[in-house]
Structure 1
């Protein structure tokens, strides 16, 4: 993955407003972006949106031979895919470091933590078991990918139902969904990963966006900006730690970790409750024979999302009548007009000056449809 290059103005601006208690999108330090969960027509298919970060998760299953060391347990695979559609700095047809990092974090949170009852996936000991595969595709990268991907993975696994199986002697019959009701996946606990951005070694930001993550991690190698890092914490609904990872600078005190753990545990409990309510609501709609697909999430707000103003910080207002330096207001210090300088001379007209000295008057009308 190519590096994300940020200018010094961007770094200094973000560090300054964070130190003053503000964020670019108007949120507080502990406030997260809106979370939205949408389900597809099949079981185990969902799209999770965390602000503008969007992740698609799809669970599929197949009958395979189990491992020799665990002949009575099923298998679980997690695959993360990223392409240039998610972000322009991601290279196509290449496994990026970010995708590998996400894949390892999700495996630690859901595979190594034993959240799935793998023994319930066994059909015939030492012969046939179910193998679950979770395909996680990043649709849009606007920061905090691990949290959005973990929620998508958890929702897809909890929502997935595998076909029912009947065994008669040595033969195994896999029933279609129209013949027998599918069997839901058994989860012992519900892990959720959260990301906390550390600024100035003592400021914690929940749910950082892409610019805040980039500034936080890039400030490590710059001697003029404070140290920063990303703290990833995975909790379940019982407030048990499933995974923890720190990328970036070293922590200066243990109080930062305790503060981050307290906020992450409360947030994970809220996310798990929201996931359970979404699955119950979707199951109710399916029982009523309501058609569910991803086309329902395409609304007018999604089509006009780029027209919204995301900059909600308060900027200082300067009155034009205030006293300023004479050298700024000196008319003789104006630079030479550029090639297409527009000088307004009348309320409905404007004069275009070129470097060759020629001028042309044009009429500006608000009723005209031409640009």
Structure 2
């Protein structure tokens, strides 16, 4: 038998009726996000982030390589992400969906192109040796708003990671084992966070922050804003055909700034608590 269409007509009507009354199916307010739960792994740079039932695992590892000829004084950062059918039945192996492609591009803009990590600090020997950081993001479960969860997991993994201490004498480079010298945190310019808002066909319905899978499926458009707690805007991406007035975009940016400050405090506390348990200094 063919599968029934999802979401069904009663599901749509129930959701839209609730949203008109500023109610959401999981009990949140329209501009309330699910509280992120961060779990740190045994290794530095290994972080699992959960927002509701949406779960993403991020891992950072580094190795010494030769720099690219056009940027001899900068380290290299690459981002690899995968969404397997394990995350949701919407995804097929080997065939990236439009949502997957959009997410991968957005991750690259937010985490790499926004210069969150100081690439020059990754240079060990000009033109000869630099650090190559590889950020791998595994999407474990998609219960809506996978992008924001993946961005958060990625930035926390970068802040959690420590690279080995390096000593340079002439042209000789010595990499010290963590048991000899304490590994070093990455030099970060800023910590960008992504916030996604869903808009609906009825203009009288308020936008919702951090949409669930059903809200995302039934939305007429999404607005994703990446910024840091210092109100520096990194990326604004709009998907869908809902027209938005400049005043509405400015209002949403103000909401996102407040959420970024809250998120920054939460992450700072969680990183300090984890590092204290490992007897590692947070710098």
TM-score of the superposed pair, with normalisation by structure 2: 0.93
Shift of residue 5, structure 1, vs aligned partner = 4.0
Match of 2:217 in 1: 214
Query: Secondary structure at the residue paired with 2:18?
Result: helix
Please give the secondary structure, in 2, of the residue aligned with 1:115: coil
CA-to-partner distance for each residue in 1:299-354, whole Å, 9 max, x for gaps? xxxxxxxxxxxxxxxxxxxxxxxxxxxxxxxxxxxxxxxxxxxxxxxxxxxxxxxx
**Higher relative contact order (CA closer than 8 Å, sequence separation 6+):** 2
After superposition, the CA RMSD in angstroms is: 1.5
Distance 2:203 2:246 in 1: 11
What is residue 238 of structure 1 aligned with on the other side? 230
Deviations 1:16-71 (A, max 9, x none): 21112211111111111121111001110000111111110000111111112211
Please give the alpha-carbon distance, in whole angstroms, between the structure 2 residues aligned to 1:108 and 1:31. Answer: 25
Is 1:249 the counterpart of 2:241 in the alignment? Answer: yes
SS at match of 1:54: strand
* Aligned-partner Cα distance in 2 for 1:230–1:93: 26
In 2, are the aligned partners of 1:204 and 1:260 still within 8 Å (CA)? no
- Whole-Å Cα distance in 2 between the matches of residues 98 and 77 of structure 1? 20
- Contact kept in structure 2, 1:160 and 1:184, CA below 8 Å: yes
Equivalent pair of 2:199/2:242 in contact (CA under 8 Å):
no
In 2, Cα distance between the equivalents of 1:171 and 1:105? Answer: 39
- Residues 195-238 of structure 1 show CA distances to partners (whole Å, capped at 9, x for unaligned) of 1111223511011100000011xxxxxxxxxxx21110011010
Q: Is the contact made by 1:80 and 1:102 (CA closer than 8 Å) also made in structure 2?
A: no
Q: Distance in 1 between matches of 2:262 and 2:147?
A: 17
Contact map agreement 1:201 1:251 (CA 8 A) in 2: no
Cα separation, 2, equivalents of 1:278 and 1:9:
41
Q: Report the Cα offset of residue 12 of structure 1.
A: 2.3
Aligned to 1:7: 8
Task: Give the SS at the match of 2:207.
Answer: strand
Task: State the match for 2:179 in structure 1.
Answer: 178
Normalising to structure 1: TM-score of the pair?
0.71
Residues paired across the two proteins, number: 274
- Once the two structures are TM-superposed, the CA of residue 259 in structure 1 deviates from its matched residue by 1.9
- Per the alignment, residue 223 of structure 1 pairs with none
Cα distance in 1 for partners of 2:57, 2:119 equals 24
Q: How does 1:81-100 map to 2 (within 5 A)?
A: 81-100=82-101
Kept in 1, the 8 Å contact 2:144–2:214? The answer is yes
Q: Which structure has the bigger radius of gyration? A: 1
Post-superposition offset of 1:125:
0.7
Unaligned runs of 5+ in 2: none
> Is 2:38 aligned against 1:37?
yes
Q: Helix, strand or coil: the match of 1:284?
A: helix
Which secondary structure state, in structure 2, belongs to the residue aligned with residue 80 of structure 1?
Answer: strand
Instruction: Map 1:1-371 to 2 at 5 A.
Output: 5-199=6-200, 200-202=202-204, 203-216=206-219, 228-287=220-279
For residues 97 and 233 of structure 2, the distance between their equivalents in structure 1, rounded to whole angstroms, comes to 27
Runs in 1 of length 4+ with deviation above 4 angstroms?
Answer: none
Unaligned runs of 5+ in 1: 217-227, 289-371
The more displaced of 198-207 and 51-60 is 198-207
